[in-house]
Homo-oligomer: A and B are copies of this chain.
């Protein structure tokens, strides 16, 4: 049994990691840290885990922490992660970091969108943990930068087209909508039930920190620099991201050809489902699962393609993808512990 630890267990991502790992046949959760819940069973804050994950949260650091597991999920905010990850790596542990701290290759870009980076020496070895694109590199990594939720939904949808040169990279617009769990479990007025329910809004228009991550990875796929218009919105749902993505086609392609191209691109991928022509995905059909469902529409009137992709932001957009990465770096079957069926209705 691989001994694994969750650093930052009391947030929604930490809770989701605990949920998924509870049924994983090859790992044992040996440590869970949380400042706010130190000394309490994790299931006190998360009663759905009662009787299932009753581990007591601790407030640990340094070698005291590192000794307790072989692989760590760091589910803490950016800036906090960069203070913890180096110690774990130096102690010989593997790390799946769910923060943004090791996703951007260029520290200048990182510091333009975030704050000073104090662990730049690890950027070069960190592998961007999108298995469908980077599987081989992940397998060899000791530090995996787990992708952001929005980028996951956008990159997976665009990859087949960009790789095949079908899109003009200068024309990409991603209009994304996320469930409220993406805002985390911290008490703030903007996340209150009454502020969110029966409503809908855009936020951080043109300014969201996932923008450089999206652009960096799409540029690699396109083979050239690009900028993206990215607009996130807040949905009155708990889980789920849907991204509607627009781009100008560089050549004629019909709907069936596009469908076949996407299907072929993801032929061996267990967690990507391509919708048949005329069908589009919905967040509720991937709820609680590691799937990314993708639909497409060739719009001959405008010369654009419209892609629609959905994921569960806490699973494929965070904890599920992190476990998928753990499986890869640990040599387990990639879908081990992730064979759930989406929960609908």
Contact = CB atoms under 8 A, between A and B. Distances in A.
Contacts of A235: 200, 235-236
29 contacts: A12-B345, A19-B341, A19-B343, A22-B341, A23-B339, A23-B340, A48-B285, A48-B286, A48-B287, A49-B341, A180-B193, A185-B189, A185-B194, A186-B189, A193-B193, A194-B238, A194-B345, A197-B198, A198-B287, A199-B237, A199-B240, A199-B284, A200-B282, A200-B284, A200-B310, A201-B242, A202-B295, A205-B299, A227-B302
User: When A and B form their complex, which 5 residue pairs have the shortest distance between CB atoms, in order from nearest?
Assistant: A199-B284, A201-B282, A194-B345, A48-B342, A48-B344
A192 B184 CA distance: 10
Nearest to A201: B282
Contact of A301 (B48, B201, B227, B286): B227
A197 B52 contact: no
Question: Considering residues A199, A201, A206, which has the most beta carbons from chain B within 10 angstroms of its beta carbon?
Answer: A199
B231 A281 contact: no
A223 interface: no
A119 interface: no
Interface string A158-201: 00000000000000010101001100011111011111111111
Contacts of A284: 48, 195, 198-201
Contacts of A195: 193, 284, 345
A15 interface: yes
A198 B238 CA distance: 7
A215 to B, nearest CB: 9
